[in-house]
Structure 1
Amino acid sequence: MGDTLCVSAVRPGCSSCCSERRGSQQIQGLQHMEAVSAAEQRQGILFGAATSYVHLEKLCEGSCATVYKGISRINSQVVALKVIRLEAEEGVPFTAIREASLLKCLKHANIVLLHDIIQTRETLTFVFEYMLFMFQLLRGLAYIHQQHILHRDLKPQNLLISCLGLARAQSIPRQTYSSEVVTLWYRPPDVLLGATAYSSDIDIWSAGCVFVEMIQGQPIFAATSGAHEQLEKIWEVLGVPTEDTWPGLSKLPNYNPELVASRRPQRLRVICDRMSRVPAAENLASRMLTAFPRGRISAQDALLHSFFSPLPPQLYQVPAGQSVLTVPGVGLQPEICDLFASYWKGRVSGRLSKFW
């Protein structure tokens, strides 16, 4: 089951949790799981079969794939099912092959596990574990950045499964990448302006957007009409940059001098009123959401930020392959209880620890 680590008094949620509208469908999925006959369980349910997983709900849909939340009939765990549509004449996309190869090589407690792969004539399905939270996100980012890998598509929908999406090995010296990456609301201003020589700072901006969204409960930069409006929303918070604050700004492909206007930035706590209720949250968010990419805090340094000071210091000694949830003082709550609170009421009480 996906475990949630809680920092301070704030309990960041995910976009699909605790929805009563979806409850009946999800409970039916659980009831279906319990209805599996004893004979079928004795025979065993095989990996690699679509019938081995129960679909609960659709989480998000992209141009090439759809992600569903489901339950494994093999081990009763909550999983994320990434269903990739296949073109008959093209075969398996190279991006899917790259993703599977990276996930096979990366061994870290906060890098999602690829449990299973199911292939049919029309689809390729990756079965991931289901997990989330900010310290774990930064810990995983720090690890892949040390391996010279960029995520390039951090957003809440992906964090539910922690999949690497458009992850790509980063060469040294750095090569030029595409600027058509990252979902618009989580795309940094340098990439919006056409920068292609980005580094790990691209993921830090996206993680900062996710961090604020966790606290506020809604996206901080939610544009509806494209990159221009997206930049406008960012400048409303950060202020319009200049060559003094952003060396090389005027050389970016999509730089528009008309956008450079006198505008006083608003503090994050003004835009996001809940930010002031969480000690050190505004400072951490500001260090991640810095317009000039080289000015953004690294994932490793973010882990040492005072925002995480209430956490047990033993977290920083946890080996890469070990979950932070094994540290004494860090409690866990299986997410299944959040999703199906009424269903599980009376069944699991007394067996769960409280949030840390």
Structure 2
Amino acid sequence: MNRTTGELVAVKKIRLEGENEGIPITALREMSCLQELRHPNIVKLEQVIMQENRLFLIFEFLDMDLREFLDSLPENYEMNTTSQSFLYQACQAICYCHQRRILHRDLKPQNLLVNSNGVIKLADFGLARAIRLPVRTYTHEIVTLWYRAPEILLGCDRYSTGVDIWSIGVLSTPNENNWEGVSQLPDYNSKFPLWQTNELASNLNAYMSHEAIELLQQMLMYDPSMRISAKQILVHPYFNDLDRTGLPAGHYDGTLQLDN
């Protein structure tokens, strides 16, 4: 608890291993990104405290992460409106990051925080990187395995904003027919099982609207150059009936400036 304001806060404690080691690069990245990013759907870094061999990052407090929220729901809970709102808010945050040329690179339920008012906030920028032009070489040992975009799994070291879109959307096997040039990636193997690609709509028809399925398909395009962007997601027909008046970023669609 913040003794000055009386508000609950979240504390991330980082142990500094030795005098010569310095502050871990993940902590430096997180502090650097969150000092630049000011958006109501991105967790706020309140304070940084150094104390002997420990570093404390003080964040605003949210009740739980998305994984915990989903696990807490009763079996027959109707998720349509909630899913729509959460997806829109997450894409507002990611669109804001991408417009400031920052990749999150570790999107997963545990890094999306939820409060009791239905607000979702993007957290944990320890693996975030600035996008350079021309696109530079990055490591592909990022993003929790189950949420990695195919270009990362197959060893591509020049990737961009599409990796975050895939993670939000998260299957079949990519080939030259649906991703030109994929066979040239270092970790591609022609012996991969040829999983079929046409099952998404038939499997989800009973649970999702046509617009929702169409959006998901565009988010999960194998070829990252064909994948929908965060800004395009925000104006997709799937969100036409979403009431944005109660959202913390309101009608932000990637064209409004939110810095304050």
Instruction: Kindly state the Cα deviation for residue 116 of structure 1 after the two structures are TM-superposed.
Output: 1.8
Q: Confirm whether residue 172 of structure 1 aligns to residue 105 of structure 2.
A: no
- The equivalent of 1:247 in structure 2 is 180
* Letter in structure 1 aligned against 2:128: A
Contact 1:108 1:320 in 2 (8 A): no
Correspondence list, 1:1-356, <5 A: 53=1, 72-89=2-19, 90-130=21-61, 133-160=86-113, 162-163=122-123, 164-209=125-170, 234-235=171-172, 240-259=173-192, 261=194, 263-268=195-200, 276-278=207-209, 280-312=211-243, 315-316=250-251, 319-321=256-258
Instruction: Kindly state the Cα deviation for residue 322 of structure 1 after the two structures are TM-superposed.
Output: 8.0
**Is there any run of 5+ residues in structure 2 with no aligned partner, and where?**
67-85, 114-120
Distance change >3 Å, CA 106–CA 255, structure 1 → 2 = same
Q: Secondary structure of the residue that 1:282 maps to in structure 2?
A: helix
**Is there any run of 5+ residues in structure 1 with no aligned partner, and where?**
1-52, 54-71, 210-233, 324-356
Instruction: Kindly state the Cα deviation for residue 115 of structure 1 after the two structures are TM-superposed.
Output: 0.9
CA deviations on 1:5-46 (whole Å, 9 max, x unpaired) are xxxxxxxxxxxxxxxxxxxxxxxxxxxxxxxxxxxxxxxxxx
Contact 1:158 1:165 in 2 (8 A): no
Greater Rg by CA: 1
CA distance in 2, matches of 1:177, 1:171: 10
Contact 2:92 2:252 in 1 (8 A): no
Contact 2:48 2:58 in 1 (8 A): yes
CA distance in 2, matches of 1:188, 1:267: 19
For the aligned residues, what is the CA RMSD?
A: 2.6
Instruction: Kindly state the Cα deviation for residue 98 of structure 1 after the two structures are TM-superposed.
Output: 2.5
Distance change >3 Å, CA 285–CA 87, structure 1 → 2 = same
Contact 1:179 1:195 in 2 (8 A): yes
Instruction: Kindly state the Cα deviation for residue 109 of structure 1 after the two structures are TM-superposed.
Output: 2.4
Contact 2:102 2:131 in 1 (8 A): yes
Percent identity reads: 43
CA distance in 2, matches of 1:95, 1:165: 4
CA deviations on 1:98-123 (whole Å, 9 max, x unpaired) are 32122112222223211122333343
CA distance in 2, matches of 1:271, 1:129: 39
Instruction: Kindly state the Cα deviation for residue 182 of structure 1 after the two structures are TM-superposed.
Output: 0.4
Instruction: Kindly state the Cα deviation for residue 271 of structure 1 after the two structures are TM-superposed.
Output: 5.1
Contact 1:109 1:322 in 2 (8 A): no
Contact 1:242 1:260 in 2 (8 A): no
CA distance in 2, matches of 1:194, 1:177: 10
Instruction: Kindly state the Cα deviation for residue 94 of structure 1 after the two structures are TM-superposed.
Output: 2.7
More helix by percentage: 1
CA deviations on 1:126-161 (whole Å, 9 max, x unpaired) are 222246732221111111111111111111111115
Contact 1:193 1:253 in 2 (8 A): yes
CA distance in 2, matches of 1:78, 1:306: 38
Q: Secondary structure of the residue that 2:111 maps to in structure 1?
A: helix
Distance change >3 Å, CA 317–CA 116, structure 1 → 2 = closer
| TM-score, with length taken from structure 1 | 0.56
CA distance in 2, matches of 1:286, 1:196: 24
Q: Secondary structure of the residue that 1:258 maps to in structure 2?
A: coil
CA distance in 1, matches of 2:179, 2:126: 29
CA deviations on 1:219-255 (whole Å, 9 max, x unpaired) are xxxxxxxxxxxxxxx32xxxx2221211111110011
CA distance in 2, matches of 1:156, 1:144: 18
Contact 2:39 2:258 in 1 (8 A): yes
CA distance in 2, matches of 1:82, 1:200: 27
Instruction: Kindly state the Cα deviation for residue 321 of structure 1 after the two structures are TM-superposed.
Output: 3.0
**Number of aligned pairs?**
223
CA distance in 2, matches of 1:242, 1:74: 58
| TM-score, with length taken from structure 2 | 0.75
CA distance in 1, matches of 2:209, 2:112: 22
* Letter in structure 2 aligned against 1:205: W
